Amino acid sequence: MSFASTYRPIKLFCLLALSGAVLSGSIVVENERPNFVKESIFSPNTATVASVVPSLNADIVVLDGGLEQGLRHGMVCSINRGFLSIGELIIIESRSDCSAGLILELAEDATIQTGDIARVKVITTS
């Protein structure tokens, strides 16, 4: 058996081993994507009600979302519980992760509760 005949199978084995390492390496990289890659680049324009603070003049609704969720000062939001519309509020203060609003309208016999969803109202023109 000559050196050339034993060298060829070893070379082939090394080539297959290296190509397998490259393929398996690409699979590992595929699974290591950060979570934000799958998220939308658009803000959701919604936030959940964290609390309602009663005061003498008006109740203040504190929301768990702020500028990062697309809530800006002066925006009008509708408050929903499931498919039921509870009322409307106007954003009076907005920070990166929280905001506060004043109640503009409230459905008859309804109260805004923790966990309700505030969604920015959008005006459509036709």
Question: Distances in Å between the alpha carbon of 64 and those of 36, 51, 76, 92?
Answer: 20, 9, 16, 14
pTM of the entire structure?
0.65
Question: pLDDT (tens digit, 9 = 90+) per residue, 37-96?
Answer: 676 666 789 999 999 999 899 999 999 999 999 999 999 999 999 999 999 999 999 999
Name the one residue in this structure whose structure tokens are 């959008």: 122
Question: pLDDT (tens digit, 9 = 90+) per residue, 23-42?
Answer: 444 444 556 777 666 766 66
Among the listed residues 65, 48, 43, 59, the one whose alpha carbon sits nearest the alpha carbon of residue 114:
48
**CB of 89 within 8 A of CB of 58?**
no
At CA 93, angle to CA 89 and CA 95, rounded to 5? 120
